Amino acid sequence: MKTKLLILSATLGFVISPALCAEGPHDHGHGHSHAKKTAGPNGGRVITSVKPRLEFFVTPGRKVKITFLGEDGQAIAPADQVVTAVGGDRSKPARLVFSKADGSLISDKPLPEGNMIPIVLQIKVAPGAKTVNEKFMVNLADCSECDHKEYACTCEH
């Protein structure tokens, strides 16, 4: 009797489960759609949690270049924004300070060695404004599917 009950339960589970799990056009239960990722004008990662948005770009010399973006996605000159960053190994973190140069903000020193650098970017868009923290991994490997580094990848992988 117990065996028949187990078989019946398992069979009903297989029959009912697909009907309960059908979500329609696969929104994966998030209730929202994801916008297509775009890179900034230099090919860097676009940060959208602040206005104006900004691009985080690692130069060939491993310095970080912050470029503020207008509504059209084009570079605009920095105003009173203050950006700092802390990255690398927790036991010996690199602290980056930014200064204005050529219409952007450039870090005072390069990122630490390695291709996987955790970073905390701190952004204050105006005096008296709340500081916004952005935490992400700066993966300097080349993406196999697009023309960007992994940290700024625009693919859906």
The number of residues in the chain equals: 157
CA distance 57 to 61: 11
19: its two tokens: 């009907």
Mean of all residue pLDDT scores within the chain: 82
Q: Report, as an integer, the average pLDDT of 59-81.
A: 96
Q: Report whether 68 contacts 56 (CB < 8 A).
A: no
Q: 152: closest CA among 39, 6, 30?
A: 39
pLDDT, residue 77, reads 96
Q: How many CB atoms lie within 10 A of CB 130?
A: 8
pLDDT, residue 147, reads 85
pLDDT, residue 156, reads 74
Looking at the predicted structure, is the pLDDT value of residue 14 above 50?
no
pLDDT, residue 70, reads 96
**Do you find a cis peptide bond into 52, omega within 30 degrees of 0?**
yes
pLDDT digits (tens, 9 = 90+) for 101-115: 999 999 999 999 999
pLDDT digits (tens, 9 = 90+) for 16-51: 333 333 333 333 343 444 456 788 999 999 999 999
